[in-house]
Amino acid sequence: MTEANYKHRGLRKARPLAALRYAIACLAMATSLVHPVTAFEPIRPLPQSIDHLPALVALGKKLFFEPALSADGTVSCASCHAPEFGWADPRPVSIGVHGRTGSLNAPTVLNAYFNFRQFWNGRAGDLQEQAAGPIHNPVEMDMSPEAALRRLRQDPSYDAAFAAAFPGVEWDFSHVTRAIAEFEKTLITPNSRLDRYLRGEIQLTASESEGYRLFKQLGCVTCHNGINIGGNSYQYMGALIPTEIDAAGADRYALTGNEFDRNRFKVPTLRNILQTAPYLHDGSQSDLKKIVELMGYHNLGFRLKDEEADLILVFFQTLTGETPEIAHRQ
């Protein structure tokens, strides 16, 4: 940029008053848009529902529970994201077609819509892109798009379902993943005690409230925040004190090859955390108190007191939301 147009764009002359007025206007706008009780809360409540197209959801649900989408006809999305286990996998690492074992723990698909990226290392940008992953993955469902389409076309019950979801369209693999992603929009868990508290509807008990205060004050909230209490940034496991836990190919490093990305993961959501054991990318821990202690030590750099860990566990009880309606019907 030349000197002339640098001046021309007015960047030379500082305009402190205008900047101040702008900042005040932004602040006023931000505070008028949010509920006064929650204006300065780092966690935001979930909405009651997300707009979705019912015909696509119906098809997506059928596909989510469809073992014919796997090479040996035994594995569906629900095999590793099981409704009765918080839509996660109770096994430390998932087991796919022909009994092949993976190296990672399946995160819950509940509220996954709100993650800024999908997978532990964020390699998929959204739910539709994500859904193609497991179908093709040789240790998960191991199907090419062509093979998956052949299977679905052999089943006449899909004719009507696709026709209702995508009228007049010749469907292909992108419609399969589109419908699954639409179904996943219904897998949200509103009205947890924390959300109701954040909306000013209820009070937390004294220990829940103290647990929440510690969660914020000790610094857990620097990584676990926002609408999903996680799911919105990449952070290190071992930010302050390195861990021995093997990244098992789940970290950003596996994707970028950049040293900076070693042991850096998409922060997992803490919503419904009591239902989604075992924990961590490799499923190596089932004891939630142990995890809270690990987090304090490796990610905050100090040992939590026993009673602090216990209070955070009480706070975790407020993070269980309402089970999606579809789980009752299944």
Active-site positions read 140
- Which residue's entry shows tokens 């998409």? 266
Structural contact between residues 267 and 223, judged by C-beta atoms closer than 8 angstroms: yes
Q: Return the residue of 227, 312, 314, 319 that touches ligand HEC, per CB under 6 A.
A: 312
Using CB under 6 A as the binding rule, whether residue 253 contacts ligand HEC is answered as: no
Q: Which of residues 96-115 bind ligand HEC (CB under 6 A)?
A: 96, 102, 104, 106-107, 109, 112, 115
Q: DSSP 3-state assignment of 220?
A: helix
Rounded-to-integer distance, Cα 77 and Cα 267, Å: 22
Q: Return the residue of 161, 267, 314, 319 that touches ligand HEC, per CB under 6 A.
A: 267
**Residue from 273, 317, 265 nearest 291 by CA:** 273
- Report the residue number, 57 or 131, with the smaller CB distance to ligand HEC: 131
Rounded-to-integer distance, Cα 80 and Cα 101, Å: 12
Q: What angle do CA 185, 186, 191 make, to 5 degrees?
A: 110
- Report the residue number, 159 or 246, with the smaller CB distance to ligand HEC: 246
Q: Return the residue of 45, 83, 296, 324 that touches ligand HEC, per CB under 6 A.
A: 296
- Report the residue number, 15 or 303, with the smaller CB distance to ligand HEC: 303
Q: What are phi and psi of 117, to 5 degrees?
A: -145, 170
Compose the 228-247 pattern: x for residues touching ligand HEC by CB under 6 A, - for all others.
-------xxx-x-----x--
- Report the residue number, 198 or 314, with the smaller CB distance to ligand HEC: 314
Compose the 12-51 pattern: x for residues touching ligand HEC by CB under 6 A, - for all others.
----------------------------------------
Tell me which stretch binds ligand HEC (CB under 6 A): 123-131, 161-169, 188-196, 322-330.
Answer: 123-131
- Report the residue number, 198 or 237, with the smaller CB distance to ligand HEC: 237
Q: Please name the residues in contact with 46: beta carbons below 8 A apart, sequence gap of 6 or more.
A: 111, 114, 188, 189, 190, 192, 195, 227, 271, 321
CB of 38 to ligand HEC, least distance (A): 21
Strands 264-266 and 234-236: antiparallel
Using CB under 6 A as the binding rule, whether residue 87 contacts ligand HEC is answered as: no
Q: Return the residue of 56, 75, 314, 319 that touches ligand HEC, per CB under 6 A.
A: 75
Q: Please name the residues in contact with 111: beta carbons below 8 A apart, sequence gap of 6 or more.
A: 46, 187, 188, 189, 228, 231, 269, 271, 272
Using CB under 6 A as the binding rule, whether residue 134 contacts ligand HEC is answered as: yes
Footprint on this chain of ligand HEC (rule: CB under 6 A):
75, 77, 79-81, 94, 96, 102, 104, 106-107, 109, 112, 115, 118-120, 127, 130-131, 134-135, 140-141, 180, 218-220, 222-224, 235-237, 239, 245, 250, 265, 267-268, 270, 273, 276, 279-281, 291-292, 295-296, 299-300, 312
